[in-house]
Amino acid sequence: METFNPLLIQFDLHQRLFNNVLYGLSDEETNLRLKGFPQANHVKYLAGHLLNAQYGLAKIAGLKPEFKWNELFAVMGNSAAKDNFPYPNIDEIIAEWNGLYKPIREGLEKLTMEQINSKPPEPFDTVSDSVGQFWTFISHHQAYHIGQIGILRKALGKQPLSYN
């Protein structure tokens, strides 16, 4: 019998919502900032930034991920959206995210309470005191940025984010 783990449930939800919020957006659309709001990130930066945070979950899940495009999408204030820049295609970012889902989930599912209560790996130990706190923080981070993309999606004239 599987135990109830709200963080795993939310991890699965974010998997679905990440794909849903990006559905139907062209690569060109994901590079656009909101007109009149140059301080707002564009969709591609947010998607890459979400992917970069997903690598943090990969690390606590016991994987040794290659942080693709880290210099472009680094977390913890170490990157910023750029205009007229040759970012990777949005489909590459989505494919990388989707390729990580199953191995990360399998690793997270196997975490013991001792591991969940242990200190997170660097540099994530600056955000949280334990792996469980870090996972909770990343879960909130993912929801926050998926919501931002949802707003940008509507501003681009697309249908709202679907939960289905």
Is the whole-model pTM more than 0.85? yes
Residues 71-94 have pLDDT tens digits of 888 877 778 888 888 999 999 999
Tokens of 130: 């334990």
Cβ pair 103, 55 in contact under 8 A: no
CATH code at position 39: 1.20.120.450
Place of tokens 């955000």: 127
What is d(CA 18, CA 14) in angstroms, rounded to the nearest whole number? 6
The reply to whether 163 falls in a domain is no
The H or E element spanning position 154 is helix 131-155
Residues 89-112 have pLDDT tens digits of 999 999 999 999 999 999 999 999
Q: Residue 19 is part of which domain span?
A: 6-155
What does the DSSP assignment read for 73-91? H-STTS----SS--PPPHH
- Sequence length of the chain is 164
CA atoms within 13 A on the CB side of 33: 14
The reply to whether 161 falls in a domain is no
The reply to whether 1 falls in a domain is no
The reply to whether 164 falls in a domain is no
- Total domains in the chain come to 1
